[in-house]
Chain A
Amino acid sequence: MKDESERKRLALIVDDEVQIRRLLRVTLEANGYAIIEAEKGQDGLIQAASQKPDIVILDLGLPDLDGVTVLKRLREWSQIPVLVLSVRERDEDKIAALDSGADDYVTKPFSTQELLARMRVAIRHAQPAEEQKTFRNGDLEIDFAKRLVSKNGKPVKLTATEYSLLRLLACNTGKVLTHRYILKEVWGPNTSNQSHYLRVYVARLREKIEPNPSRPAMLITESGIGYRFMTVQ
């Protein structure tokens, strides 16, 4: 809410359904966003270029261009956070959007709280991250400089791979990371078919860092897509 005092965040809504645009406008304006709308992909790209919004909410099924195409064109010149909001719920669509540079993906129907939370995460990530030395999340503490992890103040022993996995997730807190992305970042290129590594390491990591490993609260599975690291109180 402190954003409000500086200036209103500008959100661009690209959606062909007038009802959804109307609904979003009401909701987002009530939560301190200024809104610009575009009905078509082409129009959306022009608006994004001319108005420089802080976040783009993009529908995939547009009358002229496919949402993923819009996303790719946008990513050619801009790192504006993009949140995809679509009725398409197949994993392939989600992964395609995320791999094309979307910051998050929300399926319709959606809850307002959820959308606002995701938008905040996306905007935060877009800001140049100040060099963090330590990371805190609930009982978990990570000292990036010393590569030390502790839980409840007690040190946790992690292997090198486990540590890089945790670091990657922690640095992208709140953001969904696809399997492919994680595999590439942690295990290197050409490992996208080695998903069992990921399964096993995620399970091990949960054992070590989660308060209740059988009900994970931090390292959350995004079914069929990837993982998301969540902040806990």
Chain B
Amino acid sequence: MTRIEGPNPDELLAALKKEESRQRRGTLKVFLGMCAGVGKTYAMLELAQKAKKEGKDVVIGYVETHGRKETDALKEGIEVVQRRVTVYRGVTLTEMDLDAVLKRHPQLVLVDELAHTNAPDSRHPKRYQDVLELLDAGIDVLTTLNVQHVESRTDTVREITGTQIQETIPDTLLGEAELELVDLAPDELLQRLLEGKVYLPEQAVTASSNFFREGNLVALREMALRLAAEKAGQNVREYMRSKQISGPWKITPRLLVAVSASPHSEQMIRWTKRLVDSLGCTWIAAHVETTGELTEENQTRLTRHLQLARALGAETRSTVDEDIVSGLIRMAREQNVTEIVVGKPAGFWLFGILHSAHFLNRLIRESGSIGLHVMQAEGSSHWRTYIGRFLSRETGWRQYLQALLVVFAVTCVNAMLNMFVGPHSTGLIYLMAVVILAMFLNRGPVYVAAAISAFLWNFFFLSPRFTFRIDNLDDFMMFAMYFIVALAMGHLISRLRAKERTDRRREERATAMYMLTLELGDASSWEEIERVAVTNVERTFKAKGALLLPDAAGKLPSGLPEKEYAAAMWAYEHGQPTGHFSDTLPMTEGMYLPLRTTGSVLGVMSLNWQQKSPPTIEQRSMLDGFVRHVSLVIDRQRLREMKAQTRVLAESERLSQALLNAVSHELRTPIAAIVTAATGLDTGSDPAVHKAMVSEIRQAGERLNRLVANLLDMARLESGHVTPHMDWCDVSDLVNSALKRVAAGLANRSVSVNIEKAMPLVRADFRLIEQALVDLLLNAVMHTPSGTPVEISAHTEGRSVIIAVSDHGPGLVAEALPRIFDKFYRAPGAVAGGTGLGLSIVKGFVEANGGSVQAANRPSGGAIFSIFLPLQEQPVV
């Protein structure tokens, strides 16, 4: 047994304190400015110096002073963590060395330029993600930020300055940060620019002349001030809430913005974010999935919109509903939303206008007490986008060609039929063609076919023929009705088909989930769980999957390339998705999803996607479901194993108790006999007594020897050290050897040996089988009345060689039969003495030879123990 050393209390305390500091999340302070050159870095360094004077452990993770003297001077005395240098496509880049900072673990770290994009081989694509990791590690961070990089403000910035901002940080980051505004009047800034005190990168110099106009600066300054003010307002509200001061806000507003694949959604999301900021409320970005299938392009855009909303602090929700309005309203009710934000639906031409009016009307009618914001998206309802939606979406030119060919063919047929029938019949034939087309083609080609066939009908068959003119009112009515019916039919049928497709897809999804659940439910070993999980993932997502489960030391199985392994470990340790298509280490090939249940991460699932585009929302949510389910099953398996282990422990405790009892009894009895007999020899001199005593001593010694042999055999079996030396054995040889060894015990019994003629050789370990036979014979001797005969027989039966020992004793008690070969099991009413090990050793030895044992009662009385050994192909002699 190993002694566990008690920890030193001082060390323990120190460790606890360290742990505490690690568990505490770091605080983030952001120096916000309207643009470059207002002195953010300077202000940050000033604060750092102050903190250092107060005795804080401060280091510089990354600060760029661009050689400005007064700023440089402020860096004096603060430790700088060496930057990481990487070469990417021949360009040398320096980045903050995240791991070095984490290892150094200071109390406060300075990280300039929060919105910076990292070099491609970094762990995170964005610097703010590095900062988040630092905060998670319990390190306080000081950083700088220009207002134009705040995600929700980028639209406004573009409107003001005409510059599209690429590097942005999510607004949520500011939610937990302390903002410090570094303000400078625009004319002062311009003055500094003129004096060359503001560093600008080469390529920015030309752009800067446009950017640093007073008008822009005033607007940007207002934005910065407003952002700071909103943040202050939020703080006040939070304070009041936390102190339970009832403010003027009886109901907290909660916004829901409807998100779709439309390009305008992005603007709507930003607009809602600004509204949310000014109201200081929570919000949801909701997407209603309808029957219409989305093209890959739209799918990607939708995913991006939802990501943007998440980045701006929204909860994102998706629901499935045939009807967008009812879907939105339902979700709004469920989520206790007070106001819904929708875009003005794009409407073009009669259809669109009708449609949009209908949409808004219904929304207004059905929303009840929920408020409604309708937002005009800029550049919306452009006819080209509307037409484009029909023409380009998901439909190749091939379908249009098919539609045109069919219409042309029908026209030819009609031309021939026209000799026999009137124009109305030909119109119906056209209509039939459109309906049939609708069954196979998408909406666009069907509309086109409907329109063209209408005009062709008019042109060729309605009088006056070969003009587009219609004189007859009847004919005009026919034409108008034809047109409407054709369009409506086309629309309805294609919608039906789309619905069918979605249903099918949904069903496929449900089936996939069901299959996983079903198969995992049956899986009872780790290998099976892994196999089921991997095959299901591969089947459903067309990605190569694997389960990485940690070993006892908390390390995932190696075998992955270093970079992949690092990503997998990160996912495991941080419990966040890592790798390809994620925010962390996106340059790796695999995607690593943590398998987590409440509180703990159980392992990682890796996926190597074959598709180039990021997984769609549908795939994501499906994958989430998969991962969650697999996690649950793994957890279940873990618990099951723990339970089994506890049971094994309890069992082994019971066994060791039994062993102790048996051994102490079995050891003491012969020892007592020896000691008593020896003292008897010492005192008495009667030769008869003398002889009896000697015999007692010898018997006791033999008994002790047998006990030790049994215990050793048992120990060998238990430790798995029984490795049989398989060799060809002659069965009668085996029997004779065993009989010879038990000769003394069998002395007063008749032993009949009955071995089949031409008995084949068996392949086994001679000693083990001999020992098994010896134990069976001893067992018979011990448990049957003295003088009763013992029989030993051997024969072949099918593919087995059976060697049986039978006796003429009382037989076995029925309840003992199933347990007779168990360790330490002693049948009720058995003769005193014996450990209950013999038969379990028999079983162990025979099984080590690939055989089996059976115990039964013979119909003619007495018990029979049979050893079954596999019959092997006989060697050629």
Q: Is the CB–CB distance between B875 and A196 below 8 Å?
A: yes
Q: Is the CB–CB distance between A195 and B732 below 8 Å?
A: no
- Measured between beta carbons, the chain B residues less than 8 angstroms from A216 are 736
Interface contact tally, CB-CB below 8 A: 43
Q: Does residue A66 face the partner (Cβ distance < 8 Å to B)? A: no
Q: Is the CB–CB distance between B755 and A223 below 8 Å?
A: no
Given A109-B701, A202-B730, A203-B730, A223:B770 Cβ within 8 A: yes
Given A91-B725, A224-B767, A199:B730 Cβ within 8 A: yes
Q: Does residue A154 face the partner (Cβ distance < 8 Å to B)? A: no
Q: Is the CB–CB distance between B737 and A221 below 8 Å?
A: yes
- CB-contacts of A189-220 with B (<8 A): 195-197, 199-200, 202-203, 214-216
Q: Is the CB–CB distance between B728 and A199 below 8 Å?
A: yes
Q: Is the CB–CB distance between A223 and B732 below 8 Å?
A: no
- Measured between beta carbons, the chain B residues less than 8 angstroms from A196 are 728, 761, 875, 877
Q: Is the CB–CB distance between B736 and A200 below 8 Å?
A: no
Q: A140 vs B730: C-alpha distance in the bound complex, in angstroms?
A: 24
Q: Is the CB–CB distance between A214 and B755 below 8 Å?
A: yes
Contact code string B700-729 (vs A, CB < 8 Å = 1, else 0): 011001000100000000000000010111
Q: Is the CB–CB distance between A215 and B767 below 8 Å?
A: no
Q: Is the CB–CB distance between A197 and B766 below 8 Å?
A: no
Q: Is the CB–CB distance between A223 and B877 below 8 Å?
A: no
Q: Is the CB–CB distance between A214 and B732 below 8 Å?
A: yes
Q: Does residue B753 face the partner (Cβ distance < 8 Å to A)? A: yes
Given A196-B728, A196-B877, A199-B761, A91:B767 Cβ within 8 A: yes
Q: A203 vs B705: C-alpha distance in the bound complex, in angstroms?
A: 32
- Measured between beta carbons, the chain B residues less than 8 angstroms from A200 are 761, 877
Q: Is the CB–CB distance between A199 and B733 below 8 Å?
A: yes
Q: Name the distance in Å between A207's Cβ and chain B's nearest Cβ.
A: 11
Q: A199 vs B765: C-alpha distance in the bound complex, in angstroms?
A: 14
Q: Select which of A91, A109, A197, A221 is within 8 A of B733 by beta carbon.
A: A221
- Measured between beta carbons, the chain B residues less than 8 angstroms from A197 are 877
- Measured between beta carbons, the chain A residues less than 8 angstroms from B761 are 196, 199-200
- Measured between beta carbons, the chain A residues less than 8 angstroms from B755 are 214
Q: Is the CB–CB distance between A223 and B766 below 8 Å?
A: yes
Q: Name the distance in Å between A229's Cβ and chain B's nearest Cβ.
A: 15
- CB-contacts of B762-794 with A (<8 A): 765-767, 770
Q: A203 vs B737: C-alpha distance in the bound complex, in angstroms?
A: 14
Nearest residue, chain A, Cβ from B709: A89
Q: A91 vs B766: C-alpha distance in the bound complex, in angstroms?
A: 10
Q: Is the CB–CB distance between B729 and A199 below 8 Å?
A: yes
Nearest residue, chain A, Cβ from B759: A203
- Measured between beta carbons, the chain A residues less than 8 angstroms from B727 are 195
Nearest residue, chain B, Cβ from A92: B725
Q: Name the distance in Å between B649's Cβ and chain A's nearest Cβ.
A: 32
- Measured between beta carbons, the chain B residues less than 8 angstroms from A202 are 730, 733
Q: How many residues of A contact B (CB 8 A)?
A: 16
Nearest residue, chain A, Cβ from B755: A214
Q: A214 vs B736: C-alpha distance in the bound complex, in angstroms?
A: 8
- Measured between beta carbons, the chain A residues less than 8 angstroms from B767 are 91, 223-224
- Measured between beta carbons, the chain A residues less than 8 angstroms from B705 are 109
Nearest residue, chain A, Cβ from B704: A109
Q: A214 vs B732: C-alpha distance in the bound complex, in angstroms?
A: 7
- Measured between beta carbons, the chain A residues less than 8 angstroms from B709 are 89
Q: A195 vs B736: C-alpha distance in the bound complex, in angstroms?
A: 19
- Measured between beta carbons, the chain B residues less than 8 angstroms from A223 are 737, 766-767, 770
Q: Select which of B701, B728, B736, B875 is within 8 A of A221 by beta carbon.
A: B736
Between A91, A195, A196, A200, the greatest number of chain B beta carbons within 10 A of the residue's beta carbon is seen for: A196
- CB-contacts of B385-425 with A (<8 A): none
Between A195, A197, A224, the greatest number of chain B beta carbons within 10 A of the residue's beta carbon is seen for: A224
- Measured between beta carbons, the chain B residues less than 8 angstroms from A224 are 725, 765-767, 770
Q: Select which of B728, B737, B770 is within 8 A of A195 by beta carbon.
A: B728
Q: Name the distance in Å between B696's Cβ and chain A's nearest Cβ.
A: 15
- Measured between beta carbons, the chain B residues less than 8 angstroms from A89 are 709
- Measured between beta carbons, the chain B residues less than 8 angstroms from A199 are 728-730, 733, 761
- CB-contacts of A141-199 with B (<8 A): 195-197, 199
- Measured between beta carbons, the chain A residues less than 8 angstroms from B877 are 196-197, 200
Q: A195 vs B702: C-alpha distance in the bound complex, in angstroms?
A: 33
- Measured between beta carbons, the chain B residues less than 8 angstroms from A91 are 725, 767
Q: A187 vs B877: C-alpha distance in the bound complex, in angstroms?
A: 12
Nearest residue, chain B, Cβ from A204: B877
Contact code string B729-745 (vs A, CB < 8 Å = 1, else 0): 11011001100000000
Q: Name the distance in Å between B716's Cβ and chain A's nearest Cβ.
A: 10
Q: A72 vs B39: C-alpha distance in the bound complex, in angstroms?
A: 91
Q: A195 vs B733: C-alpha distance in the bound complex, in angstroms?
A: 14
Q: A199 vs B736: C-alpha distance in the bound complex, in angstroms?
A: 14
- Measured between beta carbons, the chain A residues less than 8 angstroms from B732 are 203, 214
- Measured between beta carbons, the chain A residues less than 8 angstroms from B736 are 214-216, 221
Nearest residue, chain A, Cβ from B874: A196
Q: Is the CB–CB distance between A214 and B766 below 8 Å?
A: no
Nearest residue, chain B, Cβ from A201: B877
Q: A109 vs B767: C-alpha distance in the bound complex, in angstroms?
A: 18
Q: A214 vs B737: C-alpha distance in the bound complex, in angstroms?
A: 11
Q: A215 vs B739: C-alpha distance in the bound complex, in angstroms?
A: 10
Q: A89 vs B733: C-alpha distance in the bound complex, in angstroms?
A: 20
Q: Name the distance in Å between A62's Cβ and chain B's nearest Cβ.
A: 21
Q: Name the distance in Å between A20's Cβ and chain B's nearest Cβ.
A: 14
Q: A200 vs B731: C-alpha distance in the bound complex, in angstroms?
A: 11
Q: Name the distance in Å between A30's Cβ and chain B's nearest Cβ.
A: 15
Q: A131 vs B728: C-alpha distance in the bound complex, in angstroms?
A: 36
Q: Name the distance in Å between A86's Cβ and chain B's nearest Cβ.
A: 14
Nearest residue, chain B, Cβ from A194: B875
Q: Name the distance in Å between A105's Cβ and chain B's nearest Cβ.
A: 14
Q: Name the distance in Å between A118's Cβ and chain B's nearest Cβ.
A: 16
Q: Name the distance in Å between A26's Cβ and chain B's nearest Cβ.
A: 15
- Measured between beta carbons, the chain A residues less than 8 angstroms from B725 are 91, 224
- Measured between beta carbons, the chain A residues less than 8 angstroms from B875 are 196
Q: Name the distance in Å between B170's Cβ and chain A's nearest Cβ.
A: 72
Nearest residue, chain B, Cβ from A200: B877
Q: Name the distance in Å between B848's Cβ and chain A's nearest Cβ.
A: 14
Q: A50 vs B643: C-alpha distance in the bound complex, in angstroms?
A: 67
Q: Name the distance in Å between B237's Cβ and chain A's nearest Cβ.
A: 83
- Measured between beta carbons, the chain B residues less than 8 angstroms from A195 are 727-728
- Measured between beta carbons, the chain A residues less than 8 angstroms from B702 are 109
- CB-contacts of A98-127 with B (<8 A): 109
Q: Name the distance in Å between B738's Cβ and chain A's nearest Cβ.
A: 9
Q: A202 vs B733: C-alpha distance in the bound complex, in angstroms?
A: 10
Nearest residue, chain A, Cβ from B735: A214
Q: A202 vs B732: C-alpha distance in the bound complex, in angstroms?
A: 12
Between A214, A215, A223, A224, the greatest number of chain B beta carbons within 10 A of the residue's beta carbon is seen for: A223
Q: A224 vs B771: C-alpha distance in the bound complex, in angstroms?
A: 11
Q: A197 vs B727: C-alpha distance in the bound complex, in angstroms?
A: 11
Q: A202 vs B728: C-alpha distance in the bound complex, in angstroms?
A: 13
Q: A108 vs B634: C-alpha distance in the bound complex, in angstroms?
A: 54
Q: Name the distance in Å between B440's Cβ and chain A's nearest Cβ.
A: 75
Q: Is the CB–CB distance between A214 and B730 below 8 Å?
A: no
Q: Is the CB–CB distance between A214 and B729 below 8 Å?
A: no
Q: A200-B761, A202-B733 are in contact. List 10 more A-B contacts (CB 8 A).
A: A195-B727, A197-B877, A199-B728, A199-B730, A199-B733, A200-B877, A202-B730, A221-B736, A223-B767, A224-B770
A-B CB contact pairs (8 Å), 21 listed: A89-B709, A91-B767, A109-B702, A195-B727, A195-B728, A196-B875, A199-B733, A199-B761, A200-B761, A200-B877, A202-B730, A203-B732, A214-B732, A214-B736, A214-B753, A216-B736, A221-B736, A221-B737, A223-B770, A224-B725, A224-B766
Instruction: Give the 4 A-B residue pairs with the shortest CB-CB distance, closest first.
Output: A196-B728, A224-B767, A196-B875, A200-B877
